[in-house]
């Protein structure tokens, strides 16, 4: 059976997943929330050299937490970590979270990661009241199966190398298994082959989802090119921690915590297929996995391993496609030129 995108080509093609965004074009930042319809097994892989995260240690397979109530992707660097508190408050007020014995109080488990978009020209004069906690709550109010890409949520103020980054998503249906990815694309590296309008992720494109340009007629030798060409250095001095690509992969396959972590590890390779360079000293690249668990995997060990490897492989492809879709959907913002402005169809 051929692999194909889901009907929305969004992470919400996975049963039980909803997404909400909140943002400000004046601030040039925002928050994206992924809410499963019930507590869900999760894993994470943190691979960048400058990460900003919350509650990722709790997702270690040896730790107590067995399920999460949501995942947050946020702009704002350290300030953005407060978005998770807003989501925790919103969920807790609605009785969603880890039950604490016989008391009515619950403890929502909401891991998250942040990207660095502070010096992008937006108004960050918020004093002692950064907006991220409020945006976390607003993003929860906005959750649904359909949501905006590009200059939305955590991708609002993002840059992808020397062009505008953004929020991207993609999905696949592989028999009964659904896999989707949601990526806030803000890397130091480039998503585009230098000097061309062709995405590094071109071999993984389905149905012309990010312009259908494919590879250039003559593919330049990437190894012979300056590896920093097309990166953030083209537009701004190097800022330690000033980048980061973060995201979520979801599947309806029933995974254990250890399996969810391995899928997150495999999914990170999608970033390497779509961005050059990636996982650098100045990126905080982090990928979460959510397993909604509506489709059981085989109990036979060999058959289960084969299915897990298949899920990890298509998850990496989804991540690569979501990166390119986020950049392709982005629009000009201030002095940040987008892909479609820079590489108009010829």
Whichever domain contains 125, its CATH number is: 3.60.70.12
Cα 121 to Cα 44: distance, rounded to the nearest angstrom? 31
If one counts the domains in the chain, the total is 1
In a domain, 212, yes or no: yes
In a domain, 2, yes or no: no
Can you spell out the DSSP letters for 123-137?
----TT--SHHHHHH
Cβ proximity of 283 and 66 under 8 Å: no
In a domain, 251, yes or no: yes
Can you spell out the DSSP letters for 252-317?
EE---HHHHHHHHHHHHHHHHHH-BS-S-TT---EEEEEEEEEEPPPSSHHHHHHHHHHHHHHHHH
Cα 86 to Cα 256: distance, rounded to the nearest angstrom? 28
In a domain, 5, yes or no: no
- Asked if pLDDT for residue 202 goes beyond 60, the answer is yes
In a domain, 6, yes or no: no
Q: Give the pairing of strands 286-295 and 246-253.
A: parallel
In a domain, 63, yes or no: yes
In a domain, 90, yes or no: yes
Could you give the angle at which helices 132-141 and 82-93 cross, rounded to 10 degrees? 40
Cβ proximity of 6 and 43 under 8 Å: no
**Model-level pTM greater than 0.85?**
yes
**Which residues form the domain of 325?**
11-342
> 3-class DSSP state for residue 168?
strand
Contacts (Cβ under 8 Å, ≥6 apart) of 207: 5
Give the model confidence (pLDDT) of 223-246 as tens digits: 656 677 767 666 666 555 468 999
In a domain, 298, yes or no: yes
Element (H, E) at 30: strand 29-36
Give the model confidence (pLDDT) of 41-82 as tens digits: 999 999 989 999 999 999 999 999 989 999 999 999 999 999
* Mean pLDDT, the chain, whole residue set: 93
């Amino acid at each position: 059976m051929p692999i194909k995108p889901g009907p929305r080509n969004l992470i919400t093609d996975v049963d039980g997943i909803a997404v909400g965004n909140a943002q400000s074009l004046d601030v040039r930042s925002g928050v994206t929330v992924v809410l499963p319809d019930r507590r869900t097994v999760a894993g994470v892989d943190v691979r960048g050299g400058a990460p900003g995260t919350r509650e990722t240690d709790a997702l270690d397979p040896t730790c107590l937490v067995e399920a999460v109530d949501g995942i947050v992707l946020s702009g704002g660097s350290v300030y953005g970590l407060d978005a998770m508190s807003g989501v925790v408050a919103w969920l807790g007020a609605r009785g969603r979270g880890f039950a604490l014995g016989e008391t009515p109080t619950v403890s929502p488990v909401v891991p998250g990661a942040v990207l660095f978009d502070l010096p992008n020209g937006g108004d960050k004069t918020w004093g002692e009241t950064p907006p991220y906690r409020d945006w976390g709550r607003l993003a929860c109010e906005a959750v649904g199966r359909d949501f905006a890409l590009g200059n939305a949520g955590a991708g609002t103020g993002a840059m992808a190398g020397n062009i505008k980054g953004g929020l991207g998503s993609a999905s696949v249906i592989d028999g009964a298994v659904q896999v989707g990815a949601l990526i806030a694309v803000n890397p130091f590296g480039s998503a585009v082959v230098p000097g061309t309008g062709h995405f590094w992720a071109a071999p993984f494109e389905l149905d012309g989802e990010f312009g259908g340009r494919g590879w250039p007629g003559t593919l330049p030798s990437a190894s012979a090119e300056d590896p920093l060409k097309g990166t953030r250095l083209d537009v701004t001095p190097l800022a330690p921690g000033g980048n980061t690509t973060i995201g979520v992969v979801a599947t309806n396959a029933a995974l254990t915590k250890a399996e969810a972590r391995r899928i997150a590890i495999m999914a990170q390779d999608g970033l390497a297929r779509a961005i050059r360079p990636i996982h650098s000293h100045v990126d905080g690249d982090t990928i979460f996995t959510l397993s909604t668990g509506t489709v059981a995997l085989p109990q036979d060990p060999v058959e289960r391993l084969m299915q897990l490897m298949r899920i990890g492989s298509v998850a990496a492809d989804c991540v690569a496609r979501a990166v390119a879709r986020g950049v392709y959907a982005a629009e000009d913002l201030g002095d940040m030129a987008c892909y479609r402005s820079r590489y108009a169809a010829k």
